[in-house]
Amino acid sequence: MPMTLSAARAHSQNVFSGRHVHLEIDDDQRGAPSLALYLRQLHPSSTRQHFGRNEVMFQEGDRAERVYRVISGTVRLCRHAANGTRHIADFVLPGELIGFDERTTHPFTAEAVTPVTLLSYARSSFDRLVASTPAVRAHLVSLLTANLRAAEQQAFVLGAHTAKQRVASFLLRLAGREDAMAGERLDVPMSRNDIADYLGMTIETVCRALAALRDENIVTVPNSHQFILNDVAALRAIAVDA
Amino acid sequence: MPMTLSAARAHSQNVFSGRHVHLEIDDDQRGAPSLALYLRQLHPSSTRQHFGRNEVMFQEGDRAERVYRVISGTVRLCRHAANGTRHIADFVLPGELIGFDERTTHPFTAEAVTPVTLLSYARSSFDRLVASTPAVRAHLVSLLTANLRAAEQQAFVLGAHTAKQRVASFLLRLAGREDAMAGERLDVPMSRNDIADYLGMTIETVCRALAALRDENIVTVPNSHQFILNDVAALRAIAVDA
DNA sequence: CGACCCCTTGACATGCATCAAAGGGAGTGG
DNA sequence: CCACTCCCTTTGATGCATGTCAAGGGGTCG
């Protein structure tokens, strides 16, 4: 999938021309490659939105009236506990959908990690497309299953792994989702704070775990938002099977 | 749903006559109440199995060739990490399905927490039923969504909560799934070890958290497998919003 | 009655959180 | 072009929640 790869790379380097919109056609990383084609049918009634860094797209509990597709940038889905702590359930990368499952209210708040461009569709027209197109239904079930697997995996990592293992898992997962190869620069758009809240630890512990990996030459950190994975095998060994 | 309640109670008291099979018709706690009715169509080709305590029903990685329905008893779905630690992803209670999602291999090992009776259907006939019945599809999507929500919730609990909070969440969830009321005896079929592996902590920490709740008169522990929730509000306050 | 298993409690150890302070890097104004 | 400031990251010092190790208790089954 060379096209997908180049799409990921374009994102890595923050090169977003007006033309990159076309990437959405085939860069869906979780489902089969043609879901985006069906979504194009909704294009006439879709809305394009931009959000600046840390801007809130919708809040936990809001009615889920639209389905969103991330065109560029990174989104975080998070919940805020009563004691003020924040938990990040997932990051959403370009090409992925938000709010496509059948919940009437959003279970998470969605915020822009980086500047974000979204395409959104009214729930009603989206549902009509789903009802009329078996292939779309199949895609959505696949997506739902993939999300379930990811959530189960995340629970596993949070429940049974140490700080270093969690960070290793996180890097491997991010590399997988961005189609980044070993030795390449891996884009890490989220802050240390975001990573900490995603992995259930503190900023400081994230830093220390990264420092440990760096000192072992497993990763190189040219700057705080780009990593190079020198030894993926070692990362996998640390992450065990996550 | 008094019938469902009595089903739960029958389970609580380990009273399983041959007749309780009829309960499966309406006690599905996660989907709409009529999914079991459709499954009855598969009854002729279904298989009934019994498993003793701690017996393995299938292993992580096995091909998913059958769909299971728990008739009685409690099942645990778990993974074993390379370092020997065990993580329990979920417990499956009577009336619930296992292996209905579209994965070719089982992501978890399934073991009997208590003596278990299962009904199972060949994947092929199950898929045929799904393909031919839109209502079943809708039910399964609901189940999938509910499972996703549960997994997200579990990740939240594991990532952002203390030992006491996790135990409180666990008790509330169990009470909710068994339709147990405050003041009633809540059946806790799983061992402290199971609870620990489900909540990402050790047996001892589970015991201490329970002891703390007991000392505050929030729960009473008549015996190690039955609890009485004296103060559900206090439990909720401890669990925050889990 | 004894043996086994699980649960419970205590004493100690440790990984991670917390508190504190010192480095960068990017944008801004001089 | 440099200096300033702000924010994020990194590292160090200390404390606490939970893990680990150990011993005793209670129920169940043979």
pLDDT confidence of residue A178: 85
User: Could you tell me if B20 and B107 lie in one domain?
Assistant: yes
Question: A5-19, B80-94, B198-212 — which is least confidently predicted?
Answer: A5-19
For chain A positions 167-206, those within 8 Å of chain B (CB to CB) are 198-200
pLDDT at A21 over 50: no
A116: which 2 tokens?
A: 């974000």
User: Could you tell me if A126 and A169 lie in one domain?
Assistant: no
Cα-Cα-Cα-Cα torsion B222, B225, B231, B233, nearest 10 degrees, comes to 180
A193 touches strand D (CB under 7 A): yes
CB nearest A144 (choices: B144, B152, B156): B144
Question: A105-114, A179-188, B57-66, B206-215 — which is least confidently predicted?
Answer: A179-188
- Looking across all nucleic acid strands, the nucleotide with the smallest C1' to CA distance from residue A202 is C17
pLDDT-based confidence at residue A241 (cuts at 50, 70, 90): low
User: Could you tell me if B141 and B163 lie in one domain?
Assistant: no
pLDDT-based confidence at residue B17 (cuts at 50, 70, 90): very low
pLDDT-based confidence at residue A15 (cuts at 50, 70, 90): very low
A22: which 2 tokens?
A: 């076309």
* R_g (Cα) of chain B, nearest Å: 18
pLDDT confidence of residue A182: 74
pLDDT confidence of residue B242: 58
pLDDT confidence of residue A211: 97
CB nearest B155 (choices: A89, A160, A241): A89
Note whether residue B93 is domain-resident: yes
Report the distance separating Cα A142 and Cα A25, nearest Å. Answer: 18
Q: Is A32 on the interface with B (CB under 8 A)?
A: no
Count Cα atoms within 13 angstroms, Cβ side, for B208. 8
User: Could you tell me if A106 and A207 lie in one domain?
Assistant: no
SS3 B201: coil
Residue of B nearest to A79 (CA): B156
pLDDT confidence of residue A33: 53
- Give the range of the structural domain holding residue B63, as residue numbers without chain letter: 5-147
User: Could you tell me if B137 and B18 lie in one domain?
Assistant: yes
- Distance in Å, alpha carbon of B184 to nearest chain A alpha carbon: 28
B17: which 2 tokens?
A: 């006559």
pLDDT at A19 over 50: no
Note whether residue A154 is domain-resident: no
- Estimate in Å the CA A207 to C1' D7 gap, whole number: 16
pLDDT-based confidence at residue A4 (cuts at 50, 70, 90): very low
CB nearest A79 (choices: B87, B151, B156): B156
SS3 A204: helix
Whose tokens are 């975001």? That residue is A194
pLDDT confidence of residue A20: 29
Report the nearest residue to nucleotide D21, CA vs C1'.
Answer: B204
Angle at A150 between CA A1 and CA B69, to 5 degrees: 120
pLDDT top residue among A182 and A10: A182
User: Could you tell me if A213 and A234 lie in one domain?
Assistant: yes
Please identify, among A121, A147, A173, the residue that sits at the C-terminal boundary of a domain: A147
Per residue in B130-177, pLDDT tens?
999 999 999 999 999 999 999 999 999 999 999 999 999 999 999 998
pLDDT at A22 over 60: no
pLDDT-based confidence at residue B180 (cuts at 50, 70, 90): confident
Single pTM value for the model: 0.86
User: Could you tell me if A86 and A192 lie in one domain?
Assistant: no
pLDDT-based confidence at residue A183 (cuts at 50, 70, 90): confident
Provide the number of structural domains found in chain A: 2
B159: which 2 tokens?
A: 């990532």
B12: which 2 tokens?
A: 């609580």
Note whether residue A114 is domain-resident: yes
pLDDT-based confidence at residue B33 (cuts at 50, 70, 90): low
Please identify, among A85, A113, A147, the residue that sits at the C-terminal boundary of a domain: A147
- Estimate in Å the CA A211 to C1' D14 gap, whole number: 21
pLDDT over 90 percentage in chain A = 76
User: Could you tell me if B110 and B171 lie in one domain?
Assistant: no
pLDDT-based confidence at residue B24 (cuts at 50, 70, 90): very low
Angle at B63 between CA B59 and CA B67, to 5 degrees: 85
Q: Which nucleotides of C are covered by protein (CB under 7 A)?
A: 6-11, 15-20, 25-26
pLDDT-based confidence at residue B14 (cuts at 50, 70, 90): very low
Question: A7-21, A163-177, B112-126, B178-192 — which is least confidently predicted?
Answer: A7-21
Please identify, among A147, A180, A198, the residue that sits at the C-terminal boundary of a domain: A147
pLDDT confidence of residue B182: 74
CB contact under 8 A, A151 and B151: yes
Count Cα atoms within 13 angstroms, Cβ side, for B106. 24
Q: In what order do the strands lie in the sheet with B56-58?
A: B56-58, B109-112, B75-80, B86-92
Note whether residue A76 is domain-resident: yes
Q: In whole angstroms, what separates CA A81 from the centre of its chain?
A: 22
* R_g (Cα) of chain A, nearest Å: 18
pLDDT at A39 over 50: yes
- Looking across all nucleic acid strands, the nucleotide with the smallest C1' to CA distance from residue B224 is C7
CB contact under 8 A, B144 and A142: no
Q: Residue range A85-90: average pLDDT?
A: 96
Q: Residue range B52-63: average pLDDT?
A: 95
Report the distance separating Cα A11 and Cα A178, nearest Å. Answer: 9
Count Cα atoms within 13 angstroms, Cβ side, for B55. 12
For the domain that residue B208 is a member of, what is the CATH number? Answer: 1.10.10.10
- Estimate in Å the CA A86 to C1' C21 gap, whole number: 25
Question: A115-129, A176-190, B99-113 — which is least confidently predicted?
Answer: A176-190
All residues of chain A having their beta carbon less than 8 Å from the beta carbon of residue B81 are 160-161, 240-241
pLDDT-based confidence at residue A29 (cuts at 50, 70, 90): very low
SS3 B56: strand
- Estimate in Å the CA B129 to C1' C16 gap, whole number: 51
Report the distance separating Cα A34 and Cα A60, nearest Å. Answer: 30
Strands B66-72 and B97-98: antiparallel
Other C-beta atoms lying within 10 Å of the C-beta of residue A200: 25
Report the distance separating Cα A101 and Cα A106, nearest Å. Answer: 10
Residue of A nearest to B236 (CA): A82
Note whether residue B153 is domain-resident: no
Phi-psi label, residue A126: left if phi above 0, alpha if psi -120 to 50, beta otherwise: alpha
Check: CB of residue B53 under 8 Å from CB of residue B114.
yes
- Looking across all nucleic acid strands, the nucleotide with the smallest C1' to CA distance from residue A161 is C15
Instruction: Indicate the average pLDDT of chain B.
Output: 86
Closest CA to A89 of A180, A158, A28, A171: A158
Q: Residue range B63-73: average pLDDT?
A: 96
All residues of chain B having their beta carbon less than 8 Å from the beta carbon of residue A86 are 160
Residue of B nearest to A200 (CA): B159
Q: Is B159 on the interface with A (CB under 8 A)?
A: yes
User: Could you tell me if B143 and B169 lie in one domain?
Assistant: no
pLDDT confidence of residue A179: 82
pLDDT confidence of residue B4: 34
User: Could you tell me if B204 and B100 lie in one domain?
Assistant: no
Strands A47-51 and A116-122: antiparallel
A230: which 2 tokens?
A: 């020198």
Provide CB contacts within 8 A for A185, sequence distance 6+. Answer: A12, A222, A226, A227, A228
B164 touches strand D (CB under 7 A): yes
pLDDT confidence of residue A242: 58
**Residues A65, A71, A73, A77: is their CA dihedral positive or negative?**
positive
Q: Residue range B173-195: average pLDDT?
A: 91
Buried-state track B23-45, b at ≥16 Cβ within 10 A, e below 16: bbbbbbbbbebebbeebebbeee
Question: B13-27, B67-81, B137-151 — which is least confidently predicted?
Answer: B13-27
pLDDT at B27 over 60: no
Instruction: Indicate the average pLDDT of chain A.
Output: 86
CB contact under 8 A, B141 and A240: no
Strands B185-187 and B56-58: unpaired
- Distance in Å, alpha carbon of B238 to nearest chain A alpha carbon: 10
A180: which 2 tokens?
A: 């980044």
- Distance in Å, alpha carbon of A72 to nearest chain B alpha carbon: 25
Note whether residue A152 is domain-resident: no
Report the distance separating Cα A179 and Cα A174, nearest Å. Answer: 8
Q: Residue range A183-211: average pLDDT?
A: 96
User: Could you tell me if B116 and B138 lie in one domain?
Assistant: yes
SS3 A64: coil
Report the distance separating Cα A117 and Cα A74, nearest Å. Answer: 9
Q: In what order do the strands lie in the sheet with B185-187?
A: B185-187, B226-229, B219-223
